[in-house]
Amino acid sequence: KIIYMEEQQYINMIKNILDNGFWEEGRNGRTKTLFGDMMRFSLKDNKIPILTTKKTAWKTCLKELLWFISGKTDNKLLKDQGVHIWDANSTREFLDSRGLTHYAVDELGPIYGYQWRHFNKPYNSDGKGIDQLQEIIDILRDPEKRTSRRIIMTAWNPCQLEQMALPPCHVLCQFNVHNDNKLSCALY
């Protein structure tokens, strides 16, 4: 039996980064990093692994997640709810720095939710894309298909990365059903 000690995993990871990580200069300035570490969380009994060692704006995260699920890409919809996660990435200056001079302020391009709900649909078109999220829901409801190892949803679309205000950080999740009704998700 795996014991999930969410808080301790986080503390151990931070210690590992401090002890064994290396310094990098990147988009977020100078950061200490370590590639490939991971944590495991159980959501059993309706537990949500929110850490107490740092401030977590869970309502803001929930609103952003629901916005992703909707497939929308207009930051104004988040701003109207008091969510400002994407503000810095939707300014005229930032969009222009990414070569997205034709986007209006607050337009983010085919980011996360767009890829989840309209994968590879030409951005701002009447074309057709793949609704990955609905496909996953349908597969999970199908007793014949739900044990597949190929229940995957990706936000990483090389064909549209240059159209995104910000390429995705959480790029892929894979689902797995075991023991007939236990759902696992690996998020990369």
Q: Catalytic residue numbers?
A: 169
Cβ–Cβ under 8 Å, residues 95 and 163: no
Phi, psi dihedrals of residue 144, rounded to the nearest 5°: -80, -25
Cβ–Cβ under 8 Å, residues 69 and 39: no
3-state helix, strand, coil in the chain (%, to 5): 35, 15, 50
CA neighbor of 101 nearest in space, from 113, 109, 111 = 109
